[in-house]
């Protein structure tokens, strides 16, 4: 998705939804969507019991610049063009120390989970990320979050994860992007380009373990 465009999709149940960049006027839609997340979904998204979105959380969720911080939302489409209830949001925040990498988070209201919307939003997010030079995504995921693990595996079958502080830390290629080797894949240094490739991989390897406690989940 270009960061200023919209797209229309059908979910598995045949209903129609529209994806578009999240904007400041979506505040009440996002708050309403939050009310349709179960306690489990909230925990999986925010990593703590989250009975409500505080003003500071809302401020962060809408602190978007379309370049380093971008969110795409999905809403029901009524009568072919009218935007209805908010159904989900996927977002990225570029890492300050690794400009081609962004941390992602996604949430879908419970009654629509399993209908393909998480996949749709992640592909839209990936298109926007590619437009802004982001080639790798990282994500904190609870170890028992099977839908999210399956979604990441669909996006990048070579995604890898390691355990950190009781969570899984995933590192995977943005779909459709030409990416540097992942930070955990050993780089063989035998060819003419290997010096450069090895240097990049070494840089990422040094940066990733020291990522600040998560731009979304754990803060
Ligand atoms: C994780 C989440 C975003 C997935 O969104 P979704 O719309 O349900 O995902 P999709 O329908 O596109 O399904 C994606 C894949 O997940 C897997 N999946 C979906 N539901 C599943 C379930 N209940 N159990 C196991 N795997 C499941 C499937 O492999 C599916 O791909 P497929 O249908 O092509 O086989 C959604 O469940 C959610 O919002 N959870 C709460 C918040 C959260 O966990 N966020 C992630 C932390 S950042």
Residue 172 lies in a domain: yes
Residue 216 lies in a domain: no
Residue 147 or residue 212, greater confidence:
147
Residue 2 lies in a domain: no
**Residue 134, domain CATH:** 3.40.630.30
User: Has residue 5 got a pLDDT over 90?
Assistant: no
HSE-CB for 167 with a 13 A CA cutoff: 19
pTM of the model: 0.86
Helix, strand, coil percentages (3-state) for the chain, rounded to 5, are 35, 30, 40
The ligand 1 site (C-beta within 6 Å) comprises 41, 44-45, 105-108, 113-119, 139, 141, 145-148, 150-151, 154
Tell me how far the alpha carbon of residue 207 is from its chain's centroid.
20
Ligand 1 pocket: which of 48, 86, 116, 118 to mutate (most atoms within 8 A of CB): 118
The pLDDT of residue 50 is: 97
Residue 24 lies in a domain: yes
What value does the mean pLDDT take over residues 78-102? 95
Split into its structural domains, the chain has a count of 1
* Residue range 40-72, pLDDT digits in tens: 999 999 999 999 999 999 999 999 999 999 999
196 touches 180 (CB < 8 A): no
Structural domain harbouring 180: 7-210
Closest approach atom of ligand 1 to CA 40: 41
* Residue range 156-169, pLDDT digits in tens: 999 999 999 999 99
Residue 219 lies in a domain: no
Distance 118 CA to ligand 1 centre (A): 6
* Residue range 176-210, pLDDT digits in tens: 997 565 554 333 333 333 333 333 333 333 333 33
Distance 154 CA to ligand 1 centre (A): 10
Residue 195 lies in a domain: yes
> Positive or negative CA dihedral for 60, 62, 68, 73?
positive
Beta bridge partners of 88: 74, 108
The pLDDT of residue 208 is: 39
Residue 50 lies in a domain: yes
Residue 21 lies in a domain: yes
User: Has residue 212 got a pLDDT over 60?
Assistant: no
How far is Cα 63 from Cα 57, in angstroms, rounded to an integer? 10
> Is residue 165 exposed (0-12), middle (13-18) or buried (19+ Cβ within 10 Å)?
exposed
How far is Cα 57 from Cα 53, in angstroms, rounded to an integer? 6
């Amino acid at each position: 998705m270009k960061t200023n465009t919209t797209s229309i999709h059908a979910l598995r149940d045949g209903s129609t939804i529209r994806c578009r960049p999240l904007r400041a006027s979506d505040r009440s839609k996002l708050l309403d969507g939050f009310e349709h997340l179960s306690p489990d979904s909230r925990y999986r998204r925010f990593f703590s019991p989250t009975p409500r979105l505080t003003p500071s959380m809302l401020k962060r969720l809408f602190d978007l610049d379309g370049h380093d911080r971008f969110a795409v939302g999905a809403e029901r489409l009524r009568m072919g063009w009218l935007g209805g209830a908010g159904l989900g949001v996927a977002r990225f925040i570029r890492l300050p120390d690794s400009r081609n990498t962004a941390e992602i988070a996604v949430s879908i209201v419970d009654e629509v989970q399993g209908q393909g919307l998480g996949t749709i939003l992640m592909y839209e997010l990936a298109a926007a990320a590619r437009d802004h030079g982001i080639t790798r995504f990282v994500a904190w995921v609870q170890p028992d979050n099977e839908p999210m693990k399956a979604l990441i595996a669909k996006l990048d079958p070579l995604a890898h994860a390691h355990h950190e502080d009781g969570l899984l830390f995933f590192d995977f290629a943005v779909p459709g992007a030409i990416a540097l080797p992942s930070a955990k894949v050993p780089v063989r240094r035998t060819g003419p380009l290997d010096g450069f490739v090895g240097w990049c991989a070494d840089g990422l390897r040094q940066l990733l373990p020291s990522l600040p406690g998560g731009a979304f989940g754990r803060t």
